[in-house]
Amino acid sequence: MISKAFQSSLDVCLFLAQNITMITIPSRGLFITGSDTDIGKTYIACELIRQLQDQGPGLEIRKPAESGCSTGESSLLIAGDALKLRAANQGRESMERIAPYRFRAALAPPRAAKLEGIQLAMTDLIEACSLDDINHLLIVEGAGGFYSPLAENGLNADLASALQLTVIIVVKDQIGAVNQALMTIQAVESRHLSIAAVILNQVEETIDNEMNNAEDLEPYCTCPVFRCLYNQQLQPVFSLRLA
């Protein structure tokens, strides 16, 4: 159980700097997943990438399958999330390396792939997540929730299990977040994967000031729980360290 390390300030939960809970980043890497789609996984992933750049080994970023891509001037599909991840890592890798499987329809990747006559197999995604340098840290962002389909024969959960990465769970900070967080935690633990943290992400500018999901979730959670305030960097909320 983590210690209560937060206080209320203007009805916002912030962690005390002198009693901050650290997230330990394993040497192998992280899998960023969530309780649903459109909850800010990419925003959180970008903040993690920016903070980790100066803390040790190089980073390799993967968004192996992205759907809902737009068509650019050259008729190439533009993966919006992958572009943000690449920018966060200062453009160190090509888009083809970060997001090799890109699809037009805003559907689960295997369904979007099928509409384009493509069979997307889990082995394709596992291979796409291979490291170019074994000394680098791998950061993988999934698509949708932990149990969302990611390939014709597998879920996000299957990719995380195959890669044996420690998981960060992103949950939209709203009514019902505790239930969503606990279900996702249980799903991750059922795969015998470690959880680095649960991050409650404030996606909307205004929320109920009386709501405090971080405090409500803490008694039921053995991993660190943090909040990311609306459009703010993660640094004021928590800090990171490498294992």
User: Predicted confidence band at 148 (pLDDT cuts at 50, 70, 90)?
Assistant: very high
pTM of the model: 0.86
User: Given a cut of 70, is residue 5 above it in pLDDT?
Assistant: no
69 belongs to a structural domain: yes
pLDDT in tens, 52-97: 887 767 999 999 999 999 987 777 899 999 999 999 999 999 999 9
217 belongs to a structural domain: yes
First-to-last alpha carbon distance for the chain, in angstroms, is 20
% the chain with pLDDT above 70: 84
Given this model, what pLDDT does residue 243 score? 55
Cβ-contact 57, 136 below 8 angstroms = yes
220 belongs to a structural domain: yes
Q: Of 148, 103, 94, 101, whose CA–CA distance to 125 is shortest?
A: 101
pLDDT mean over 196-207: 84
1 belongs to a structural domain: no
156 belongs to a structural domain: yes
Rounded CA-CA distance 112/120 in Å is 10
Rounded CA-CA distance 137/139 in Å is 7
Residue 32: CATH number of its domain = 3.40.50.300
219 belongs to a structural domain: yes
User: Predicted confidence band at 229 (pLDDT cuts at 50, 70, 90)?
Assistant: confident
96 belongs to a structural domain: yes
Which domain covers residue 159, as residue numbers?
Answer: 6-238
User: Given a cut of 60, is residue 102 above it in pLDDT?
Assistant: yes
Domain tally for the chain? Answer: 1
Given this model, what pLDDT does residue 154 score? 98
% the chain with pLDDT above 90: 63
70 belongs to a structural domain: yes
Q: Which residues are catalytic?
A: 63
Given this model, what pLDDT does residue 206 score? 72
